[in-house]
Homo-oligomer: A and B are copies of this chain.
Amino acid sequence: MKIAQREFHVTTRSRTEMVDVTRQVEAAVREAGIPSGDAIVFCPHTTAAITINENADPDVVHDVLLALDEMVRRSNPGFRHSEGNSDAHTKSSLVGCSAQVLIQEGDLVLGTWQAIYFCEFDGPRSRRVIVQVRGEG
């Protein structure tokens, strides 16, 4: 088994935003030189997340962020956390702080319409993403 770990940064520009990081993950997989296995894309932050969703129409990203905003309101009279970002923490647990992607013949195994997104829920901020690539050398 071979394991390689890479890291990259994402700079977000809005409070909520989905940034396509598929190319950065592909680059990490290429650098790892592991043609068969999987990659864990892990976000070490508690007000952000990683997801896989539509890569073609940017309106999908807009709509997903809107639906999340309506499900988890930013202001809630019951919230106690003084930083005012409990909505972001909740979204992070809903979407999840990692995604797993399969690798075959050196390429990511993604559906035609799938991209990997870094989800910012409390930006703008500078963020880290860790990619662990594992498999057969």
* Chain A at the B interface: SS class: mixed
Of B5, B72, B96, which contacts A71 at CB under 8 A? B72
| Chain B residue at minimum C-beta to C-beta distance from A93 | B51
Rounded to whole Å, the gap between the CB of A26 and the closest CB of chain B is 16
Q: List, in ascending order, chain B residues with CB within 8 A of A136's CB.
A: 1, 3
Interface pair B76/A89, CB less than 8 Å apart? no
Of B67, B81, B82, B109, which contacts A90 at CB under 8 A? B67
Q: How far is the CA of A113 from the CA of B93 in the complex (A)?
A: 14
Q: How far is the CA of A76 from the CA of B136 in the complex (A)?
A: 46
Of B1, B53, B68, which contacts A46 at CB under 8 A? B53
Chain copies in the assembled complex: 3
Q: How far is the CA of A102 from the CA of B113 in the complex (A)?
A: 28
- Given the known A-B contacts A54-B89, A113-B46, are A76 and B82 also in contact in the complex, defined by CB atoms under 8 Å? no
Interface pair B60/A89, CB less than 8 Å apart? yes
Closest 9 CB pairs of A and B: A44-B111, A63-B86, A1-B1, A59-B80, A59-B81, A67-B90, A51-B93, A46-B54, A63-B79
Chain A interface residues toward B at CB < 8 A? 1, 3, 5, 36-38, 40, 42-46, 51-54, 57, 59-60, 62-64, 66-68, 70-72, 76, 78-83, 86-87, 89-90, 92-100, 102, 104, 109-114, 128, 130, 132, 134-136
